[in-house]
Chains A and B, each alone.
Chain A
Amino acid sequence: MIDTPALKPGQTEVWITGIGLATSLGEGLDANWAALSEKRINVDEKGFAPYIVHPLMPVSFDSQIPKKGDQRQMEAWQRIGTYAAGLALDSAGIKGNKDILSKIDMVVAAGGGERDINVDSGILTAEAKGANAPGFLNERLMSDLRPTLFLAQLSNLLAGNIAIVHGLGGTSRTFMGEEVAGADAARIALARIASGESDIALVGGSYNGERKDLLVLYEFGDFNLKDKFAPVWARKDHPGFALGSAGAFLVLESKAHAEARGAKPFAKLSSVVADLAKRKQPGDMTATLEKLWDKLPRREGKGAIITGATGAEPATSDERDFLKNHADFPVRSTGTVFGHAMETQFPLGIALAALSISRGALFPPNDSTGTEIEMQGPPTQIVVVGAGHWRGEGMALVEAI
């Protein structure tokens, strides 16, 4: 009812004409594709031990964020996102194109809240040592917080920074809500373009997985992968996700708009659907994934699945039950390779689906359990799956043109 399951009469086809990636495997499409093809994985088992993270492959932020002043006004998650957004605009061939950038619609999936961990631990330490005056917290926050940190904590300031750095003057909406926010961002952008409300949109997100404050948040629920890395499908007895730093942005565009400017598409985004399973009983999430699968347009080509399965339980087991029902679709897990980038995981999945279609091959499996199998020949349809570690399920269909 509120999805974009298939084109209705009068709706326009939506193409993916730009992709920007900055991940633990590197920046740009070639570096990421090469690493995927060579089955490389970049994990840090020591820096946050016993927790495992996929650190961002260092990039030169100057190339996309030329003003140091802009870089200083952001924290890492925003720099990663602003950088990846610039790559996506470059990839679509619209970087600096004022006519298009002045009307582009942005839908960003974001978290936020990056802490200054020195300020936090300083205050907690002083309080543990007896500082208990009523105004102690106020005074320390007034003196210790950097004024600009607030702007790095606001979810919508990723979009704000992208607009400032790359000169975007259309509209800007920020969706929050962990993994499914990424699916909803794509869903709404697609619906708006398909219905003619919008011609072109920048959609995506970014995540800094190298944050102890985030590890604390997920440790509350024992969601962090500890001690030893293993592929997502091999974590059943040792569940959890390894946070991954990543920025992934897409340029979505109506076919007519893309053709008019001679843009070459990677693939088309045919449908995005999302739901909120109750997850009260085992299998609730599996049923919701089946329901979403049925909402996607008929699949008749050579299909594959790219999933953002987290490795956390019970969500990953429920998803595995869903995948077993569709065993004719070779599966790839982005969580194994890139780690878990939360709001960014779904846009990352769409990006890799579009890239695989445009390169005429699904990247090879990276799994010791046999869940991921080889795929022969070029994929023409890829279903992107994103089931949140706690709540929210999304699915997209990316197709060859």
Chain B
Amino acid sequence: MIAPRDKLGRPVVVVTGMGIMTSLGAGKSDNWAKLVAGESGIRTITRFPIDGLKTTMAGTVDFVSADPFSSTALSERMAELVTQEALEQAGIGAKADFPGPLFLAVAPVEVEWPQRRELGRAVGQQDITYDDLLRISGGGKFSAYHHRFMFGSVAAYLAETFGTKGSPISLSTACASGATSIQLGVEAIRRGETDAALCVATDGTVNPEALVRFSLLSALSTQNDPPQAASRPFSKNRDGFVMAEGAGALVLESYEAATARGAKILGVIAGCGELTDSFHRTRSSPDGKPIIGCMNKTLADAGMTPDQIDHINAHGTATPENDKMEFNTTSAVFGELAQKIPVTSNKSMVGHTISAAGAVEAIFSLLTLEHQRIPPTINYDNPDPTILFDVVGNKARDARVTAVMSNSFGFGGQNASLILTREPA
């Protein structure tokens, strides 16, 4: 028998539904099959012209349509689809009546170029200032743009569609957002405020300006040809991350509530931790202390020791700095075990789904636990000799996996880690 409370006396939080979408495809089955087969979802961008760009590939989700198209509309549609998948699996509540709150990780929302150009055309003159745009923006002609480009619009739509309870929270902790959405859900259940929470993370922001912004920070890989080989976590010749789109949804429940209704338990969120780095806006503190602290807090939250972790789903962005930092900090926490625990980076195949990554990778971690098979890190032909991880290179590996640590680190000093287990510790 499993105790309904953890070592710290809090309700155990389990996962009873999952939905996922990445550039590899829609749904758990398709994603998992392609992931363990080592397929890449990275391709040359066709959504908009790539002339003049240094990086011309990404992990776009082109098989989902959003009309009228915008990054926010695509994010919303992907979030809706993965939530449907997760709710179907969980079989919780009634249609449009989810018995708990929504925590949504979503990219910051803003008016995008297609809409800005539409305004420009409406001005109807050759010199265009913001005063001109202001003059033609009112009167109801563009009222749909107001609703679309509210930061809370995606959450409001999901809350209405799925009948979540209370005020839905839209959050951003940059590349750690997906993990934060899960953490907020775990905390709400542990505090006893709710028996269930819907945690969703989505990002559909491969658009010209977003790509240029990351390019200007020299964060992106420019190994455009072939695109499938661009994302090279832990390789000597890694040169940046690959932008990607995707979404993940998890239904979290207290163990007690899930078992009471006979739900199938897919895994346990055993621990969550976060720690801010105040060193720099885009770089980690050179001593790695905030990341080390984040991993240690997560272990403590789960009531576990490093030797109980048998797989690490790395942040593994393939930027020169991240991967090195991740090895050094993991070594500080895990000691020699850091070289023995199998490590993989899903980003080698699906790219970096930014706001969604924490949730997408948590779901892949849970699927790893379910299948007892670790997906590979592809493009691992030229290992970085200073990164001594046991990288699951190029080919999936069968392994006994009981507890996975999944890491997310983001701009603005955001660090978050999760520990996922098959059964309560």
Binding site for B on A (CB under 8 A): 1-4, 51, 73, 106, 111-113, 117, 120-121, 124-125, 127-129, 133-139, 141-142, 145, 147, 149-151, 153-157, 159-161, 163-164, 167-178, 180-181, 183-184, 187-188, 191-192, 195, 197, 212-213, 215-224, 274-276, 278, 388, 390-394
Q: A172-B413, A216-B111 are in contact. Are A150 and B213 (CB under 8 A)?
A: yes
User: What is the CA–CA distance of A157 and B49 in the complex, to the nearest angstrom?
Assistant: 30
Determine if B51 and A135 form an interchain contact, defined as CB atoms under 8 angstroms apart. yes
C-beta contact mask, B157-176 vs A, less than 8 Å → 1, else 0? 00110000111111111100
- B-side contacts of A168, CB under 8 Å: 276, 278
Determine if B50 and A135 form an interchain contact, defined as CB atoms under 8 angstroms apart. yes
B88 on the A face (CB < 8 A): no
In this complex, the member of B117, B129, B217 whose beta carbon has the largest number of chain A beta carbons within 10 angstroms is B129
Determine if B173 and A172 form an interchain contact, defined as CB atoms under 8 angstroms apart. yes
- B-side contacts of A172, CB under 8 Å: 173, 274, 276, 412-414
Q: A176-B171, A275-B166, A390-B146 are in contact. List 12 more A-B contacts (CB 8 A).
A: A125-B127, A137-B208, A163-B278, A168-B278, A171-B275, A173-B274, A176-B109, A180-B167, A181-B170, A220-B138, A391-B152, A393-B167
Stretch binding the partner chain, chosen from B60-68, B185-193, B308-316: B185-193
- Of A113, A125, A133, A156, which is within 8 A of B173 by CB? A156
- B-side contacts of A156, CB under 8 Å: 172-174, 410-412, 414
14 A-B Cβ contacts within 8 A? A1-B166, A1-B194, A128-B126, A133-B51, A135-B49, A154-B108, A163-B412, A173-B173, A173-B184, A176-B151, A176-B171, A177-B168, A276-B156, A276-B159
Determine if A219 and B137 form an interchain contact, defined as CB atoms under 8 angstroms apart. yes
CB distance from B239 to the nearest CB of A (A): 18
Determine if B191 and A220 form an interchain contact, defined as CB atoms under 8 angstroms apart. no
Determine if A175 and B276 form an interchain contact, defined as CB atoms under 8 angstroms apart. no
- B-side contacts of A394, CB under 8 Å: 167
Determine if B134 and A175 form an interchain contact, defined as CB atoms under 8 angstroms apart. no
- B-side contacts of A219, CB under 8 Å: 134, 137-138
- Of B131, B142, B166, B193, which is within 8 A of A274 by CB? B166
User: What is the CA–CA distance of A278 and B156 in the complex, to the nearest angstrom?
Assistant: 9
- B133 (CB) vs chain A CBs: closest residue: A216
Determine if A157 and B171 form an interchain contact, defined as CB atoms under 8 angstroms apart. no
Determine if A391 and B156 form an interchain contact, defined as CB atoms under 8 angstroms apart. yes
Determine if B167 and A276 form an interchain contact, defined as CB atoms under 8 angstroms apart. yes
- Of A124, A127, A134, A150, which is within 8 A of B216 by CB? A150
- A-side contacts of B278, CB under 8 Å: 163-164, 167-169
